[in-house]
Chain A
Amino acid sequence: MKPRIGFFDFAGCEGCQLTVLNLEDRLLELLDMVEIVEFREISSGGGDPLDIAFVEGSVGPRDEIERLRKIRKKTKSLVALGACADTGGINSLSRFQTASTLQQTVYGETAAPPPVALLRPLHDFVAVDHRLPGCPIDGEEFLAVLQALLLGRPPELPGYSVCVECKLAELPCLFDTGQICLGPIARAGCGARCVQGGSRCRGCRGEMENPRSNPYYRILTDHGLTEEEIRDQYRLFNLPEKEDR
């Protein structure tokens, strides 16, 4: 029997699922090997057990947490799909507000505003087996992770920094041009796509394994950043560990 996989989404832009759809021909080739039973972007399905669940988006409101827990219960391997699910992603910026301020800002003086909760990554609520970091995810990495899971071996993410892929792409270092880049501590796997495209790394894939924070901090201060500005660099995509929030 073909492995059954499902895609689920919570608070997020669904760009990661779109990345999967954009694989087009390659996705079709995959469909031969699996049975996609739930995919909001293309179909909807029932509540049977799943081999793999790809879950996109962050979670906050109580009913969402419940839905996530149900998915967890019926799934062998739960994969956090993209930055929002994995590290909180851009949603983690919400932590600088209270829930009520956010509610007020978004819905104004509506008589019955929908409930608003601060958004969190999946692992705040359920056990996450595997991760596909990035905003959005990298299509090739999605395929590699899916392959690994189909073969029954744990998928591996690169543990080194974006600098590695930047050097391999023979890109000039942004620090040489006076820009601040999170590449030295961000996890590789994206092929330094943002730097290739003329931008800088903002660390959407989270930190590499064993980030060398001390030397990096020194380099940033050498480039004239204050402690608060350095924090700002990290904040866009990364929520601190629970105890540090």
Chain B
Amino acid sequence: MTPFAHISGEETTSSQIWRSANRGEIDLFVRSLSTVYEVVGVQEKRGRLLRSRIDDPTSLVLDFPPRVHSPKKFLFPNGEKLFRFRLGGKVLLETERTSPPRVIFGMHPCDLHAVKILDDCLLEGEADSSYRALRDSAILVGVDCQPDDHCFCTSMGTDRVADGFDLFLHHHDGSYLIQTGSPRGEALLLRHAPRIAARPGEPPLPLQLKQCSNGLQCSSETLPTVLEGAYDHPTWEEIGNLCLGCGACNLLCPTCYCFNVHDRLDLNLHGGERVRTWESCQFDQFTKVAGGDNFRGTQAERQRHRFFRKHKYLREKHQRTGCVGCGRCSRECLSQIEPATVLNSLFKEQAGPVKTQMPGLEYQPQLAEIAAVRILSEREKLLRLRLAEPVRFDPGTFMEVSVFGLGEAPFTIASAPDGGRELEIVVRAAGNLTRALHRLKTGDQVGVRGPFGCGFRMADLVGSDILLVAGGRGLITLRSLLLAILARREEFGRVILLYGARDPESLLFHDDLMAWHQGDQLDCRLVISDSGGDWCIARGEVSHLFRDLDIAPHRTIAAVSGPPGMYRSTNSLLFQIGFDEDRVFLNLERHMKCGLGKCGKCQINDICVCQCGPIFPYSKVRHLREAIER
């Protein structure tokens, strides 16, 4: 049963709609909600981030670290009044008034999972009506987060959440995407943010992979078995000896709900109230009874109980973890008792199968969106990809691009390294994958990994004259370099581009070539080997362009990129002119299938191109017999 089934009377997974909203619209939403609900969320107070009532929507903080205490206090408050009583004559009981409707902003995914656990524990059997009252009247608005060193949510499967919220705010593009999670959430948007509600739905964000430096080395499902065999393990004594018994682990835990019950009397002793307060199984008196017996007399037993309850008893009872990996218990433990470390040590000793940390993660692409498509030639298209994060690379490096179902291939980056989120590749329709890439439209998604490899290091080139020698598709790589140079043109001397192709139709980047040819930024010379057609371009091989070249080789760096056969002629010409072997850089692209230096497909003799190249100074590859066809 989903947590809201008892409220809405229907399952919630039916229609989750994603709509964009900016911060200003969210503020208006909060303001409108405040007229009907008590809105609570994180805000800064006296230099601390605390969850409390929001009076000014602009003070609501939506981006906050996992360190902020959990929202448990709104659903299961410490010191909650259960009922009032009056003394004197007949005892009179008065029930508490129902709680005010409340919207809780800023539930991290782990906190939403924690509410599911509280639901399991407090609503099963005869439901705890005090909890139910607060729970039913609370609208939960989730927000995404970034794990810190103490989080191990990825090990507990609580780093993301598919249901259990009314609305969820995802950071997206400097703004937000609001995901509805329940009919109640949808109704809330309709009533209090009609502008947002009127927007058409957007495609859901792909699941973001979170990275936790902390984590379990075994699957969390095996923890009951791991603990089963560790009841008498010395580790409990060890952490018992470390424990201060302060109970911080329990008090800060979003799923701990054990409580004590007290009577609090009015000053005049005519009446009072019965309240429940948060309790900790780490306290001395937790299991103490009137006769003086203490059923868990040592700190070791208490710590063991905490671990068993979170990771064995509750999981076995509710088929759900009792711990959401939020790390609050260890983050504020003065003795640094860290659950993942304790559980890992127990697990390792039992020599069970070790869970690899996210197997295959390095092969898993991030999703990128097609930002633009441009036809370059009959067979070549330029795809502009928009990545989730800004990307830094050197010209000459490459990306692995994939279409799911058809595989993955390396593509050299054709655009300048501008530090933005977008980059360009050129795809020649050749096989299934590249034909599929040709069919993509703006807004479609592909997988990307990288950038990989060693490219041109701009710092090595600055101050020199630059000679770029490109043949055919070799221009794609050199375009990235040339654009990078032109972006800081004044830092370089002369720039010369020699570019040869088979026929005019095969010349790539017509617009660029035209601009370069007509501008005064560089000396751009073209040649084609077949018929010239309407183009007034010299005929011949690239090597012909060397004829009238007057350059000073000692202050020039040559970058050569073209089909394998081209290097044979150009290399010798360059050395005839007087180039030093360290000043000639070659693009030796091979089939760089994995990009990780593992698959062996891009090996040139003993060198792995995807790791050491594909851009090499000639001096580094001269001895490699496979490098250049001689």
Contacts and interface: CB of A to CB of B under 8 A. Distances in A.
Interface of A: 26, 29-30, 32-33, 143, 147, 150-151, 159-161, 163-164, 167-168, 170-173, 175, 184-185, 209-210, 212, 214-216, 218-219
Contact of A147 (B243, B246, B269): B269
B332 to A, nearest CB: 6
Task: Give the secondary structure class of A's interface.
Answer: helix
Interface in B268-287: 268-269, 278, 280, 283-285
A150 B283 CA distance: 29
B246 A170 contact: no
A29 B280 CA distance: 35
Interface in B5-49: 48
B69 interface: yes
A167 B72 CA distance: 13
Nearest to B249: A167
Contacts of B278: 168
Contacts of A143: 267
Given A160-B283, A163-B246, A167-B251, A219 B335 contact: yes
B267 A184 contact: no
Given A160-B247, A163-B244, A170-B69, A212 B299 contact: yes
B314 interface: no
B269 A210 contact: no
A215 B243 contact: yes
A229 to B, nearest CB: 18
A22 to B, nearest CB: 15
Contacts of A151: 265, 269
A29 B244 contact: no
Nearest to B79: A168
12 contacts: A33-B269, A163-B247, A164-B246, A164-B248, A167-B332, A170-B48, A184-B246, A209-B284, A210-B284, A212-B243, A214-B241, A216-B244
B78 A168 contact: yes
A150 B269 contact: yes
B245 to A, nearest CB: 5
B430 interface: no
Contacts of B283: 159-160
Contacts of B332: 167, 173
A117 B349 CA distance: 62
A29 B243 contact: no
B246 A160 contact: yes
Interface residues of B, number: 27
Given A160-B283, A168-B278, A172-B48, A32 B244 contact: no
Nearest to A219: B334
A173 B335 CA distance: 12
Given A160-B283, A215-B335, 6 more contacts: A151-B265, A160-B245, A161-B244, A164-B246, A167-B246, A212-B243
B268 A29 contact: yes
Contacts of A163: 244, 246-248, 334
A218 B242 CA distance: 9
A31 B299 CA distance: 44
A173 B69 CA distance: 13
Given A30-B267, A214-B241, A167 B335 contact: no
Nearest to A209: B284
Nearest to B252: A167
Nearest to A143: B267
Interface in B231-259: 241-248, 251-252
Contacts of A184: 244, 246, 334
Given A160-B283, A173-B332, A26 B245 contact: no
Contact of A161 (B69, B78, B242, B245): B245
Contacts of B265: 147, 151
B241 A215 contact: yes
B242 A215 contact: yes
B268 A32 contact: yes
B371 interface: no
A214 B278 CA distance: 26
B300 to A, nearest CB: 12
A212 B240 CA distance: 10
Given A143-B267, A150-B269, A170-B50, A212 B245 contact: yes
Nearest to B52: A170
A219 B244 CA distance: 10
Interface string B334-355: 1100000000000000000000
A213 to B, nearest CB: 10
B333 to A, nearest CB: 9
